[in-house]
Copies of this chain bind each other. A is one copy, B any other.
Amino acid sequence: MTRAFNFSAGPAALPEAVLRQAREELLEWGSARASVMEISHRGSAFMELARESESDLRQLLDIPSSHRVLFMQGGATQHFAQIPMNLARQNQSADYVISGAWGEKAFSEAGPHVQARICASSAAGGFRDVPASTDWKRDAQAAYVHYTTNETIHGVQFHEIPDVGTVPLVADMSSDILSAPIDVSRFGIIYAGAQKNIGASGLVILIVRDDLLERSPQPIARIFKYAEHAKADSLFNTPNTFGWYLSALVFKWLKGEGGLAAMAERNRRKAELLYRTIDESGFYSNPVNATARSLMNVPFFLADAGLDQVFLKEADAENLIGLKGHRVLGGMRASIYNATPIQAVEVLVDFMREFERRHG
């Protein structure tokens, strides 16, 4: 067997070099005489890994000293609920911008914990665009504004950071964090599940502005309070140590590849190649407004949906996997996160052209 070109939306492909290193040291990590999974998270070896991984992430994203970095659990979905628990009183209002399925989910999970209010949505247009930030009907008294920078299912992405004045901006960046440089100082909270651009599922990274940690407006257990995790350097309880370790390897890999500017350039080339192939064909289509197209997730549809199964089967035979579209939209979807090499996209577009020639 051989590893495939993997376009899974998430859990997604990891850099092969990272997997090889993890394999190499799976039974004996460093000088631990044990796996990294088998040692105390409070021992000096793991604490050093924790410190260094945060330092690498800070370098990569150029995180200012005003912001703390937390390594958490629960998936982004848990933080849909935990963010209001930490940032707002239960009867306070918070603004939600909906540009796809994940924004909708963030809004609905927040519901029991804050007066969540939709201040903008592109639902009416079928999520083929993002709501322009100038049209957001914001409440100046809102506890925060929440939006989803990239929507994996609908393949739409914000390419600029909206200006929300002094209201804290909260961004779910699960699917595009680390894909390009970003001005972290503009955000109150950035959070991301790890299973796309950071590492493996079961880890969430949360970057939070210091002053927001002290809000703590709801009577909740300490385990739910970001301030407690910050005080304990993310060791309030046993973290997902293997997941943390994998993310540390990914950060080193990103630095070795030239950092986020290099990633942004590579990601732009991959996406351009794929969208150009789609747009130039008379057979494939992507319905998203060109200015809002995602550089991470590219949904596309065959002119004849009856050929979907044939496409997937022939792609699989060419060692191209993970291309089936989300059940909400059908069709195809190629997810091309950081770990996807340009070669994978080249093989994919060659296959797409050949498939069109034979079936189009």
The interface of chain A, by Cβ under 8 A from chain B, is 1-4, 6, 8-14, 16, 19-20, 22-23, 26-28, 31, 33-35, 37-41, 73-78, 80-81, 108-113, 193, 195, 200-203, 219-224, 236-243, 246, 319, 321-322
Contacts and interface: CB of A to CB of B under 8 A. Distances in A.
Nearest to A85: B221
A321 B32 CA distance: 9
B14 A38 contact: yes
A221 B80 CA distance: 9
Task: Summarize A's interface: helix, strand, loop or mixed.
Answer: loop
Contact of A221 (B3, B12, B111, B221): B111
Contact of A78 (B76, B203, B237, B246): B237
Contacts of A81: 220-221, 223-224
Given A2-B33, A201-B242, A242-B243, A77 B236 contact: yes
Contacts of A240: 73, 200-202, 240, 243
Contact of A6 (B6, B26, B31, B38): B38
A19 B22 CA distance: 12
Contacts of A109: 221-223
A193 B238 contact: yes
Contacts of A80: 221, 223
Given A11-B238, A40-B8, A202-B241, A223 B34 contact: no
Given A27-B19, A33-B4, A222-B109, A202 B12 contact: no
Given A40-B322, A74-B78, A112-B219, 8 more contacts: A8-B39, A11-B39, A11-B238, A19-B37, A37-B246, A76-B237, A77-B238, A81-B223
A197 to B, nearest CB: 13
A350 to B, nearest CB: 19
A74 B77 contact: no
A237 B40 contact: no
Contacts of A40: 8-11, 322
B22 A38 contact: no
A24 to B, nearest CB: 9
A202 B78 CA distance: 14
A201 B41 contact: yes
A224 to B, nearest CB: 7
A35 B8 contact: no
10 contacts: A8-B39, A13-B34, A13-B38, A22-B26, A73-B75, A113-B221, A193-B238, A202-B242, A240-B243, A242-B243
A14 B26 CA distance: 11
B202 A41 contact: no
Given A19-B27, A203-B202, A221 B110 contact: yes
Nearest to A202: B240
Listed residue (A37, A40, A108) with the most chain B CB atoms within 10 angstroms of its CB: A37
Contacts of A222: 108-109
A242 B243 CA distance: 9
Contacts of A3: 27-28, 33-34
Nearest to A244: B202
Contacts of A11: 37-41, 238, 241
